[in-house]
Chain A
């Protein structure tokens, strides 16, 4: 079975150090012949991966929902679920066109035939990958959906729902789509520079995490944090279930990012990404738990869940580029650094409610840089004596951080002026579920 090559053009470079492996005898010829021949195994894995990534959205909803108070459980879950609606439509109408249409100077994609996927024949193959382009559209669309939903964690329990809808629509269009183009489209300027981002360390986690920080700063603290009030997670069992679903879906996120091509090496890359994903998440879960145990004398379940996510975030840009042994280091460092990072909000006084910046921003940045240290395929990193790759990773990270910060600042300013960002104090006090959505998450007595 010949499966996946890493995302878009990364796979093309992966070919240069191709190792013969795993190709079924009958497919050897097909691998050599370029052209629009469909590869059943690759297509099946991409369809599966696309569905797996979508499962991360309810996973994220549960992960976040458990950490808020019960009066805000539904609005918090809606932040994830509604992205499936808003970005799901945006992506078909023009999102895919902007991210993966014909490159306009490496900055943005554009191709009128891709608007509403109108001119995209369902039999058309994506580049040389042996997978129908529609499958690639769907796979990428799930990434676009979950990325803005990550940001919601920073503004949970106080953001106005209508403003949130405007924000994710505009942010996906003007921040996510260009960034995805820069890094993943084969005409994108960061891609051409050789910046490695296997499955979204810069495009997804740095962009979401740093945007989350900007929003948290602009929107201000939750009122209930003032004085000596205490905010406790209302149901950590939901959070643990969510973390489990995220881990499961992340195999599609990372191993699916070895976008299928009719090349033997790609199957190996998917397997590599799968293994490093598992290794990093496991190591991070363990390290966060032990760290907290040592620090506070208690091994907490939220710590274990946080470690899982931190490890998954950090390995994302590196999944198909590093050895499993090094993935363990990614995971361990992710937990140490993110554990420190989530304490920052207490010191600096901003309210990143559910640590979207502390985990995704910081973990994503760490992973993007470590990729330049440990990568061995298709480029070699610092530990193999190549300083240049680390420089490229730093440049890519810096570009993503700067673009996300500025873009989000601008978008949030406009939305704040036009519609306001926060709910009223009374709505915040009574909870957003009943005041905005007219529902309560729990009627246990009925």
Chain B
């Protein structure tokens, strides 16, 4: 099935600090919510960037975990909402210190609403 070229969609993955999730949701709601409760998927993730985990202490021994705990936010949007969503995530997630995370944006080929079978932009 093909879609109109002007209705391409974007998939946004953002890795953020868990404690910034509520702020990110607040910002996203401001730009995406059109009285229909915007769609979002949130999952806990582990990994590392340039940094490693925060130092922990186990019976007097300092131990540095290789991974840090982060939260991954996934949203799929129609193209014109992509940049506002990215700006909203940055606004909500940024603390200005190392470890604020990253946002990945990629084109989204299709989207299917399982209950109705709707596809493409209308399903988002």
Contact = CB atoms under 8 A, between A and B. Distances in A.
B64 interface: yes
A343 B60 contact: yes
A302 B61 contact: no
B60 A342 contact: yes
B56 interface: yes
B98 interface: no
Interface in A331-363: 339, 342-343, 346, 355
A368 B60 CA distance: 25
B5 interface: no
Interface in B26-67: 56-66
Contacts of B65: 230, 232
Interface stretch (A6-14, A183-191, A246-254, A290-298): A290-298
- Interface centre among A230, A292, A296, A303, by most chain B C-beta atoms within 10 angstroms, is A230
A308 to B, nearest CB: 13
Contact of B62 (A233, A296, A306): A296
A303 B59 contact: yes
Contacts of B60: 292, 295-296, 303, 339, 342-343
A295 B65 CA distance: 20
Interface residues of A, number: 17
A300 interface: yes
Contacts, number: 34
Contacts of B64: 230
Contacts of A231: 63
B59 A232 contact: no
Given A230-B65, A230-B66, A232-B65, A298 B59 contact: no
A343 B63 contact: no
A209 to B, nearest CB: 15
Nearest to A340: B60
Contacts of B61: 343, 346
Contacts of A292: 57, 60
A232 B59 CA distance: 11
Contacts of A343: 60-61
B57 A300 contact: yes
A152 B57 CA distance: 23
Interface in B58-94: 58-66
B6 to A, nearest CB: 39
A302 B63 CA distance: 14
A412 B64 CA distance: 35
A302 B59 contact: yes
A302 to B, nearest CB: 6
A230 B57 CA distance: 12
Contact of A298 (B57, B63, B66): B57
A338 to B, nearest CB: 9
A292 B62 CA distance: 11
Interface string A216-240: 0000000000000011110000000
Contacts of A303: 57, 59-60
B59 A355 contact: yes
The 8 closest A-B pairs by CB, nearest first: A342-B59, A300-B57, A296-B57, A298-B57, A230-B65, A230-B63, A343-B60, A232-B65
Interface of B: 56-66
Given A300-B57, A300-B58, A339-B60, 15 more contacts: A230-B63, A230-B64, A230-B65, A232-B58, A292-B60, A296-B60, A296-B62, A302-B57, A302-B58, A302-B59, A303-B57, A303-B59, A339-B59, A343-B60, A346-B61
